[in-house]
Amino acid sequence: MRVLRFWKPYDVLTKFTDADGRATLADYIDAPGIYAAGRLDKDSEGLLILTDAGALNARLTDPAFSHPRVYWVQVERIPDQAALDRLRQGVDLKDGRTRPAQADLLDTPPDLPERPVPVRYRKHVPTAWLQLTITEGRNRQVRRMTAAVGHPTLRLVRWAIGPVTLAGLQPGEAQPLAPNEIDALRRSAFRRR
């Protein structure tokens, strides 16, 4: 079994080919037979797990298994307690109510490399960073959740999937998981909920 962790850079598609010539995973990873366990939008950054193990991939991506994903989210304005509580209780979106999330306002911005395309800056609109943990993966879910509570997302970085994090990686870097890391990920993915 092969399992890689990869820091998907901004403006890279979560696939290996693109008919329009846009940047893809193939520009960074040469490992035939592995597939991304989940997706990140082109304008999102952060952790992807790639594997050749179909059962592990299925467990990590099927919302029925409630696998936690941690995001660092830069949003417009500073969320108050009411906005955080709405995220924690679940947010009504067009495709239904989300599961409750763990939502915390970070005291300081996370230590992240600069993005190649700067985040939109407005002189009179402050920004804040949230740590948001969700257990489902709907299309653009985090962005839709923050917008629904009045705080549009400016930058989105997935920090962790279960016990696997970006720690020690830079954008565009991939690293195979060690056997003990694979075991921890498998235990996390296959435990009973």
13-17, 59-63, 110-114: least confidently modelled range:
59-63
Q: Looking at the structure, give the CATH architecture of the domain made up of residues 68-161.
A: 2-Layer Sandwich (3.30)
Segment 28-55, tens digit of pLDDT: 999 889 999 989 999 999 999 999 998 8
Quick one: pLDDT band at residue 21, thresholds 50, 70, 90? very high
- Domain regions of the chain by residue span: 1-66+163-193, 68-161
List the structure tokens of 13.
Answer: 């598609």
Residue 168's nearest CA partner among 157, 180, 159, 179 is 159
Segment 142-180, tens digit of pLDDT: 999 999 999 999 999 999 999 999 999 999 999 999 999
The C-alpha atoms of residue 119 and residue 135 are separated, in whole angstroms, by 27
Angle (nearest 5°) at CA 3 between 56 and 142: 70
List the structure tokens of 71.
Answer: 């995001």
The DSSP 8-state label assigned to residue 172 in this structure reads T
- 41 catalytic, yes or no? yes
Task: Say what the pTM is.
Answer: 0.94
Model pLDDT, residue 71: 97
Catalytic member of 11, 18, 27, 41 = 41
1-66+163-193 placed in CATH 3.40.50.720: no
- 151 burial class (0-12, 13-18, 19+ CB within 10 angstroms)? buried
Quick one: pLDDT band at residue 192, thresholds 50, 70, 90? low
Please check whether the two domains, 1-66+163-193 and 68-161, share a CATH topology: yes
